Structure 1
Amino acid sequence: MYIVLVYDVSQEENGARRWSRIFKICKKYLTHIQNSVFEGELSKGQLAQLQKELKEYIDKELDSVIIFKSRQEKWLDKEFWGRKDDLTSFIL
């Protein structure tokens, strides 16, 4: 399945450290496309592993992670407004 993951990490209560760990975990599984936004193709198992790893660092009271799922990238219309930094354009 094709995933777009967006996160917002509060800077309260050691937020910079949580942000860094969450960023590194997301980068293992997905392509970083903009600030706190990642996208890519994952299996159900990979998505489950990603969620498991992120749970350790997400503070449910302060942070949020949103995952948008699509069957494939072709079912997702991507439109750029402003500067186009399409870091996924190298993917066939």
Structure 2
Amino acid sequence: MYVILVYDITDKKVAKMLKLCRRYLNWIQNSVFEGEISEVKLQELLAAAKLFMDKENDSIIIFKSRQEKWLEKQVVGKEKNELDTFL
């Protein structure tokens, strides 16, 4: 499946969340990641995040799609982390 993951987390844990998300997805903008991921890997990522998240103040939002081709993406301005496709 293709996901867009967005998080809002306290400043002192941002680096930890960034490092965790980069292991599974592509960073595209501050606190925003996207990419193909299996349901098992997504649950693994969420389980790891829940270990240090403050459930009263922190949040993760995940938008899911079957494939990237079913999602229209428009970038206005400079894209912070352009994804390269290697063949």
TM-score (norm 1): 0.85
The match for 1:43 among 34, 38, 42 is: 38
CA distance in 1, matches of 2:16, 2:80: 24
- Per-residue deviation at 1:57? 1.5
Would you say the 8 A contact 2:24–2:45 is kept in 1? yes
Would you say the 8 A contact 2:2–2:35 is kept in 1? yes
| Identity score, percent | 48
- Which secondary structure state, in structure 1, belongs to the residue aligned with residue 18 of structure 2? helix
TM-score (norm 2): 0.90
5+ residue gaps, structure 1, are none
Give the CA RMSD over aligned residues: 1.5
5+ residue gaps, structure 2, are none
- Count of aligned pairs: 87
CA distance in 1, matches of 2:86, 2:28: 13
